[in-house]
Amino acid sequence: MNHIVVVDASGLLPCPGSTPKYWLDQEGRAWPDVHFQPDFSPALVTYFQYKATDTSKSIWSEITNSAGVLVEQLDTLHNVENSTILFLCHGLGTFIALRALSMLGSNWKFKCSKSNTVLVLFGTPLIYQNQNMFRKLLRACATTELGLPTKADNPTAEDLAILADVVKDAEGRKLEVVCVCEKQKSLLGRGAPSFLTGPAPRFSIGQQSMKMSGAEYVPVDQDHLNCARWNDTVYNHASALLKRHHPMNPTTYIGPTDINKDAEQVSVHVKSRPNHPIQLKSSSGAPILPPPLLEFPRNEFFVGRRDVLDHIENTLVRRDEEPSRPHAFALHAPPGYGKTQVARQFAEEHMGHFKSILWLFADSEIKILNGCAAHAVYLGLTKKGESADWAKEAKDVLWDWYRKTDRPWLVIFDNAMDQKLINDWWPHGPAGAILITTNDPTFATNNVAGDGAKLVEIERRL
């Protein structure tokens, strides 16, 4: 099992500051979800969000408080004692994660070690040799990430010592670390500490400020606010470390497909059909289908969303007429609002109704084709072939089954972005239902689904 825990400094102030959306790619999607979940399935991506409430406390003491919350929540992650955790930490969020790891004791399920912990640190000052410069860089991070005014909340000598100690603790554990260093300087303007203002920007967390024993260094052409945005070089480094500690094993996949992004030819790994030969017939002559395959890991902390789940159910399950086109529903919201987990919860609640559930990562045509081909084999409609066109042929067999069967089926297009792509790959059949998750509200119009709802943001903890 892989857990991806994303930590930044948002929440260290009782009132929201100017924290941007760090974890986005060029298309406005949360890149840890988009890439790690399909590439390292089963993997759970969690965004840790601490909510400070006491206005009398400094942000430096809140780092310790939030680390305590993180420690407690790490222990509740699914199968954490047998998992690898990759921490993605931006700026001051690194100290929350490192402080949490230093607080783990023998009574906790997760035992931090070199064999199960990987850290990717984005723009965090780690050098304590010069106390004055360390303080300045920490203040600069606080100003940039939280919008603190001039001279607000300076770290004390005790604060500096605590933060330096957690860095030393991580070095002592010899953890796998990637330090992502900024090449661009930040221009903060009015309200910034005086040493950051002037005719030219002077603040950046470069490699000279991120020295850590045994770490790899990846420079990115970004400033402090944007150094954690999508970068394929950073992702490749993080992926290599994660594979080293927890190699991908096709027999443990929740989903049946593996996308070979570098190859033009489709590459599909099929999850074994449990104890059923191809299209075994029942006494009535109807094919015996394997159990519905739910192809996306569950977030252990999913709660609520009953109104939206009921809305989807009324559209896709409790329907009166039998259409020639499947009933469809588009769930739309900005990245990080939990659309995928709502779709997953709906599918889980209705596994008894739908006899076939197909989960498709819908941001590219090859991923959709892979998913369809693998699902056709899983259902026993065809066998995996060796020809270059076998995947397309398998998809056609699946589409034909959708058109003819009277057994309820569900197709989930997750992270849909291109309306034409989804319409081109739209399955038809009177027993079908289609659920779409997307950032784009126009998917709910008659151009695509014809029905849908906007998912509102709720306060989330790890």
pLDDT at 88: 94
Per-residue model confidence (pLDDT) at position 268: 46
The count of other CB atoms within 10 Å of the CB of residue 455 is 18
Angstrom distance (rounded) from CA 388 to CA 51: 53
Paired residues of 329 in beta bridges:
435
Q: What is the pLDDT of residue 149?
A: 59
Inter-axis angle of helices 157-172 and 59-74, nearest 10:
30
User: Would you state the structure tokens that stand for residue 397, as one six-digit string?
Assistant: 């067999």
Residue 89, pLDDT score: 93
Residue 85 bridge partners (DSSP): 3, 117
pLDDT at 462: 42
Phi and psi angles of residue 89, each rounded to the nearest 5 degrees, phi first: -125, 130
- Residue of 332, 313, 307, 305 whose CA lies nearest to 448: 332
Amino acid at 15: C
Q: Considering the entire predicted model, what is its pTM?
A: 0.55
* Alpha-carbon gap, residue 36 to 429, rounded angstroms: 33
- The secondary element (H helix, E strand) that includes residue 402 is helix 390-404
3-state secondary structure of 218: strand
Structure tokens at 118: 């990987």
Say if residues 84 and 42 touch (Cβ distance below 8 Å). Answer: no
> What is the Cβ-side half-sphere exposure of residue 39, based on CA atoms within 13 angstroms?
19
Q: What is the mean pLDDT of each run of 10 residues along the chain (462 residues)?
A: 82 54 74 76 75 79 89 81 89 93 83 88 86 86 75 81 90 90 72 49 76 88 88 87 60 32 40 44 47 58 77 81 69 86 86 85 87 86 79 91 89 91 90 92 89 77 43
Residue 62 near residue 9 (C-beta atoms within 8 A): no
Residue with tokens 């023998």: 106
Which long-range contacts does 403-408 make (Cβ < 8 Å, 24+ apart)?
403/428, 403/429, 404/429, 405/429, 405/431, 406/430, 406/431, 407/289, 407/355, 407/356, 407/431, 408/353, 408/354, 408/355, 408/356, 408/432, 408/433
Per-residue DSSP letters for 297-316?
A: PPPTT----HHHHHHHHHHH
pLDDT score at 274? 44
Give me the pLDDT at residue 281, please.
Answer: 41
Q: What is the DSSP string of 82-136?
A: G-EEEEEEETTHHHHHHHHHHH--TTSS----TTTEEEEEES-----SSHHHHHH
Say how far apart CA 174 and CA 351 lie, in whole Å: 45
* Residue (of 405, 418, 415) closest to 439 by Cα position: 415
